């Protein structure tokens, strides 16, 4: 149904993420109005298999899926309409790494100037106050923030499970369901406390059996393996310095049995190499392979310090990487070898990382950060906006093991964003809407649509509960701050 393809140059010199739909669903042929049509866009960047870009485009939705795409003058009837005049339409951005609960300790003054290990040691005791109310409220605010920034699918890595804290991940899923966001929470875990040579205090670690039993419970309760799923669970021991090798190995076995994905931090800090060599006798990614994680079931956060051979191994395994530009800058982590990873064939997605290390959760900012860092590291020809858009959509989908999101093809899920390219910030940026989207700005969504339903409409959340939730969030954050500075 694509018509009048534009003449934008959108080839990328490097490998492309695939977006082939598996078992492509049939769209019912009917004369009934569509559920939703988004009209009047300057350009629809579909990110489909041929990277079609449609000038003056519209997108029609039925049953939560993209049902048709066309050009001006051929707009169909629909029950609901969104105007996208002056906008670029892209697939919804996919956030592949986050710790949403940390928005309760954003820009936390006592922890601002240490390295990663100091920062964590300061904040672990504060986070040990996490309970179901805090998990629900922080997830609601964090997911709302992501939606406003053009994110439609996000993961969350919740690895602090204090004793008596309750069912934190089910509380987050309630928030995602209420807001209408597509959600991939991961059951994080820490099992190696200070007394055993790890980093976290005893109050936030659990034993291996308890972690694995709760992981299985959450998968059985919430994981939806079907095409178009709104909730999927992955298993996510935190990092080499907070879990035992035995837990890593048993978690990989459990993920295989339950057929769910695996996630962890790896090669995140320069002193992680020293820690792993001293305590495990091997480099972080050697450890990763030895405990059974080198596979296409896994995606890892940061991956700043793989050597050349390890980049090749990540590609061979099919292991995805969540590149976190803002966090890597704020913690001073370093410049990840994104160019080398993509050239080698590694699936690279983008992630905000935790709201106490990145402090804001905007996938547009992460996309722009990915452009800037790649060019700082490799020069101006090393990265372009379309390649970043590919990482933020198809690359993220590949990290999460999905082919039904990350592109606007007929039959794919109707997850999309209308980005305004108008006004003072975009004046004069007339030659290429995709480059303008990332080089001008800052930008945020005019409309964010998830599963065919607007979550953000005309720049505001559709939900009417924002003030109530902000009040609840402030109460919890104030209590935590008071307790930490008492």
With CB under 5 A, what is the number of residues at the site for Zn ion? 2
Cβ closest to Zn ion, residue 118 vs residue 133: 118
Q: Which long-range contacts (CB under 8 A, 24 or more apart) does 329-335 make?
A: 329/369, 329/373, 330/357, 330/358, 330/359, 331/115, 331/116, 331/119, 331/269, 331/357, 332/115, 333/116, 333/268, 333/269, 333/270, 333/302, 333/304, 334/270, 334/304, 334/305, 335/304, 335/373, 335/376, 335/377
- Residue 78: CB atoms within 10 A of its CB come to 20
Cβ closest to Zn ion, residue 35 vs residue 268: 268
Cβ closest to Zn ion, residue 301 vs residue 346: 301
Q: What is the dihedral of CA 86, 90, 96, 100, to 10 degrees?
A: 30
Candidates 104-112, 167-175, 349-357, 422-430; binding stretch for Zn ion (CB under 5 A): 349-357
63, 277, 286, 431 from 309: Cα distances, Å = 45, 17, 11, 40
Cβ closest to Zn ion, residue 310 vs residue 353: 353
Is residue 353 near Zn ion by the rule CB under 5 A?
yes
Min dist. Cβ of residue 123 to Zn ion (A): 12
Reported in sequence order, the residue ranges of 246-338 that DSSP labels E, i.e. its strands, are 261-266, 298-302, 320-323
Candidates 147-155, 224-232, 275-283, 346-354; binding stretch for Zn ion (CB under 5 A): 346-354
7, 107, 389 from 355: Cα distances, Å = 40, 8, 22
Candidates 133-141, 215-223, 353-361, 372-380; binding stretch for Zn ion (CB under 5 A): 353-361
DSSP code at position 394:
I
Cβ closest to Zn ion, residue 369 vs residue 452: 369
Is residue 172 near Zn ion by the rule CB under 5 A?
no
d(CA 370, CA 438): 10
Candidates 38-46, 282-290, 296-304, 405-413; binding stretch for Zn ion (CB under 5 A): 296-304
Nearest alpha-carbon partner for 169 in 216, 120, 119, 121 = 216
Cβ closest to Zn ion, residue 263 vs residue 447: 263
Cβ closest to Zn ion, residue 266 vs residue 450: 266
Min dist. Cβ of residue 156 to Zn ion (A): 10
Nearest alpha-carbon partner for 309 in 273, 280, 341 = 341
Min dist. Cβ of residue 476 to Zn ion (A): 21
By CB under 5 A, the residues from 299 to 318 that bind Zn ion are 301
DSSP code at position 471:
H
d(CA 121, CA 101): 17
Min dist. Cβ of residue 354 to Zn ion (A): 5
Min dist. Cβ of residue 321 to Zn ion (A): 13
Cβ closest to Zn ion, residue 2 vs residue 238: 238
Min dist. Cβ of residue 323 to Zn ion (A): 12
Q: What is the dihedral of CA 174, 187, 238, 309, to 10 degrees?
A: -110
Candidates 200-208, 244-252, 277-285, 348-356; binding stretch for Zn ion (CB under 5 A): 348-356
Is residue 272 near Zn ion by the rule CB under 5 A?
no
Cβ closest to Zn ion, residue 40 vs residue 320: 320
Residue with tokens 């393996």: 225
Min dist. Cβ of residue 161 to Zn ion (A): 16
Min dist. Cβ of residue 97 to Zn ion (A): 6
Min dist. Cβ of residue 485 to Zn ion (A): 25
Measured in degrees and rounded to the nearest 5, phi and psi for residue 36 equal -155, 140
Indicate the SS3 state at residue 61. Answer: strand
Residues that bind Zn ion (CB under 5 A): 301, 353
């Amino acid at each position: 149904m694509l018509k009048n393809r534009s003449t934008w140059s959108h080839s990328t010199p490097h490998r492309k993420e695939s977006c082939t739909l598996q078992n492509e669903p049939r769209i019912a042929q009917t004369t009934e109005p569509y559920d939703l049509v988004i009209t009047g866009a300057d350009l629809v960047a579909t990110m489909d298999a041929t990277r079609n870009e449609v000038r003056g485009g519209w997108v029609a939705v039925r049953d939560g899926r993209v049902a048709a795409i066309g050009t001006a003058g051929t707009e169909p009837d629909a029950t609901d309409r969104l105007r996208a005049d002056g906008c670029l339409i892209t697939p919804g951005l996919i956030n592949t790494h986050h710790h949403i609960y940390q928005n309760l300790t954003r820009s936390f003054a006592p922890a601002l100037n240490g390295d990663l290990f100091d920062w964590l040691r300061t904040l672990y005791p504060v986070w040990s106050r996490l309970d179901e109310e805090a998990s629900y409220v922080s997830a609601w605010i964090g997911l709302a923030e992501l939606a406003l920034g053009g994110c439609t699918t996000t993961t969350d890595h919740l690895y602090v499970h204090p004793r008596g804290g309750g069912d934190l991940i089910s509380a987050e899923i309630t928030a995602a369901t209420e807001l209408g966001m597509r959600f991939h929470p991961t059951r994080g875990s820490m099992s190696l406390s200070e007394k055993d040579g790890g980093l976290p205090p005893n109050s936030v670690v659990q034993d291996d059996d308890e972690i694995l039993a709760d992981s299985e419970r959450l998968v059985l309760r919430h994981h939806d393996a079907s095409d178009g799923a709104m909730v999927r669970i992955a298993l996510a021991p935190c990092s080499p310095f907070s879990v035992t090798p035995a837990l890593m190995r048993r978690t990989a076995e459990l993920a295989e049995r339950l057929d769910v994905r695996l996630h962890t931090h790896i090669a995140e800090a320069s002193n992680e190499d020293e820690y792993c060599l001293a305590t495990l006798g091997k480099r972080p990614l050697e450890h990763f392979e030895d405990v059974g994680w080198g596979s296409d079931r896994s995606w890892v956060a940061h991956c700043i310090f793989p050597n050349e051979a390890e980049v090749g191994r990540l590609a061979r395994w099919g292991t995805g990487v969540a590149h976190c530009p803002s966090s890597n800058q704020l913690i001073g982590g370093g410049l990840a070898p994104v160019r080398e990873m993509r050239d080698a064939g590694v699936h690279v997605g983008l992630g905000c990382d935790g709201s106490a290390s990145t402090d804001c959760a905007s996938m547009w900012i992460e996309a722009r950060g990915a452009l800037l860092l790649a060019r700082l590291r490799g020069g101006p020809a090393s990265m372009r906006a379309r390649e970043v858009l590919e990482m933020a959509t198809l690359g993220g989908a590949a990290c999460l093991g999905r082919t039904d999101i990350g592109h606007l093809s007929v039959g794919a899920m109707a997850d999309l964003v209308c980005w305004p390219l108008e006004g003072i910030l975009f004046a004069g940026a007339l030659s290429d809407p995709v480059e303008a989207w990332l080089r001008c700005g800052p930008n945020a969504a005019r409309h964010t649509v998830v599963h065919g339903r607007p979550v953000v409409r005309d720049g505001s959340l559709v939900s009417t509960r924002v003030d109530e939730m902000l009040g609840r969030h402030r109460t919890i954050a104030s209590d935590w701050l008071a307790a930490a500075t008492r």
